[in-house]
Amino acid sequence: MSILQILKYPNPNLRQQAKTVEKFDQNLKLTIDDMLETMKDAKGIGLAATQVDIHSRIIVIDLSEDYSDPQIFINPEMSIVDKTLSAYTEGCLSIPGVQENIERPSVVIITASDANGDIFKAEYTGLMATCIQHEIDHLNGKLFVDYLSPLKRQLIRKKMKKSKAN
Ligand code: NI
């Protein structure tokens, strides 16, 4: 397993649309392992392939304290069950040092494939619902700062450029 480099905002590659995964092969499993390792190393709770410059629809999430509960979502499709919004303070491994309160629908149903290509469907609430929406946004080239005002986003952009994290 290897630790991959995480793209930092405002790297333009973070805006790419990720493509549907067609082959559930050994290569995919290696990518998933590397993503899990990278997320753990960066102490994150979720990582989308887009963030490591791989433009395929792959997401890994682990909300456990000790990284004992890895969850894999390939080609996730989302439907909103409850439009009531929940607010969470969100952060992103691609925008280090920035945390903002973001409101998102509180209950979602996700249909996705696991690493073997087997399709599953599950309902998510709370932090998990927020996290998966944040990660699906990444696959569509969207970042949580896009929900903020243009002025606030501009300030974050300047701060990121100054820190030379890119
Ligand atoms: Ni993120």
Retrieve residue 21's tokens: 């995964």
Q: Say if residue 122's pLDDT is above 60.
A: yes
Report the percent of the chain where pLDDT is more than 90. 93
Residue 3: inside a domain, yes or no? Answer: no
Catalytic sites, residue numbers = 135
Residue 111: inside a domain, yes or no? Answer: yes
Expressed in angstroms and rounded, the spacing between residue 150 Cα and the centre of ligand 1 is 19
| Residue 164: predicted pLDDT | 65
Closest CA to 75 of 1, 148, 136: 136
Expressed in angstroms and rounded, the spacing between residue 116 Cα and the centre of ligand 1 is 25
User: What whole-number distance in Å separates Cα of residue 20 and Cα of residue 42?
Assistant: 26
* Mean per-residue pLDDT of the chain: 95
Residue 42: inside a domain, yes or no? Answer: yes
Ion ligand 1: residues, CB < 5 A: 92
Closest CA to 75 of 133, 19, 126: 19
Retrieve residue 163's tokens: 């820190």
| Residue 161: predicted pLDDT | 83
Instruction: Name the band, by pLDDT with cuts 50, 70 and 90, for residue 58.
Output: very high
Per the structure, the complete domain to which residue 20 belongs is given by 12-165
Expressed in angstroms and rounded, the spacing between residue 46 Cα and the centre of ligand 1 is 7
Domain count, the chain: 1
pLDDT tens-place string over residues 12-32: 999 999 999 999 999 999 999
Query: What mean pLDDT comes out for the span 152-165?
Result: 84
Residue 70: inside a domain, yes or no? Answer: yes
Expressed in angstroms and rounded, the spacing between residue 121 Cα and the centre of ligand 1 is 23
Residues sharing a CB contact under 8 Å with residue 65, sequence separation 6 or more, in sequence order: none
| Residue 27: predicted pLDDT | 97
Q: Are 4 and 36 in contact (CB under 8 A)?
A: no
Q: Are 86 and 104 in contact (CB under 8 A)?
A: yes
pLDDT tens-place string over residues 36-54: 999 999 999 999 999 999 9
Q: CATH number for the domain including 148?
A: 3.90.45.10
pTM summary value: 0.95
Closest CA to 47 of 145, 164, 165, 139: 139
Residue 5: inside a domain, yes or no? Answer: no
Determine how many CB atoms are found less than 10 A away from the CB of residue 103: 12
Expressed in angstroms and rounded, the spacing between residue 17 Cα and the centre of ligand 1 is 15
Expressed in angstroms and rounded, the spacing between residue 44 Cα and the centre of ligand 1 is 9
